[in-house]
Amino acid sequence: MQKYIYEVFEEVCKLENRDDRIACLKKNEFKQLKTVLQLCYNDNIELDLPKGRPPFEECPEGREPSPLSNVFSSIGVCVKDNGVPRVRKEKIFIGILEQLAEKDAHILCAAKDGTITTLQNKTYSKMTKSLVQAAFPNIL
C-alpha cells in the first residue's frame, strides 16, 4: 500500500545522514510526493491561490482519506494563467484538502506557499530544496 506523504516526510526527517535521506526519498518515490515537492521548490510552478491556509474541514475522524492518486488529479487546474477563474481554483483546492489525511493537507498548504521546512515547529526541516534536488533533479 502506498504511504501518505507525511509518512514519507517523517521517515526522511528521522534520518541523520543526508545520503540516507536521499535514498529514502528515492525508495518512496511516487507521483503525488513529487508533485508536492515541485509545488514547494520548483520556481516555474505557481498556484493561483492566496497565501496561507484556506478554511477547510479536515477529513472527519473515522473516514478514510481518499487515495492520493484520485485527489491530486485536479491540482493542475490551480496553476496561474490557465483561464480558470480564481474562485473556482480556490474551491478545487479546498476540495483537495478536505479529501486528504490531516497532515497531508497541512503539507500541501505549506508546499503551496513554499514553507514545508517551517511547518509545525520545523518538523520537516530536513526536507530542503537541496535534498529534493539531489533526489529528484528532473523535477526542479
Q: Is residue 11 classed exposed, middle or buried when 0-12, 13-18 and 19+ CB atoms within 10 A define those classes?
A: middle
Residue 69 has pLDDT above 90, yes or no: no
pLDDT, average across residues 84-93: 97
Residue 64 has pLDDT above 90, yes or no: no
Q: Work out the mean pLDDT of the chain and round it to a whole number.
A: 94
Least confident of 28-37, 62-71, 90-99: 62-71
Model pLDDT for residues 100-121, shown as the tens digit of each residue: 999 999 999 999 999 999 998 8
Residue 20: what pLDDT?
Answer: 98
Residue 134: what pLDDT?
Answer: 98
State the cell numbers at 43: 520556481
Confirm if 92 and 78 have CB atoms less than 8 A apart. Answer: yes
What percentage of the chain reaches a pLDDT higher than 70? 100
Q: What span, in angstroms and rounded, lies between the C-alpha atoms of 89 and 74?
A: 10
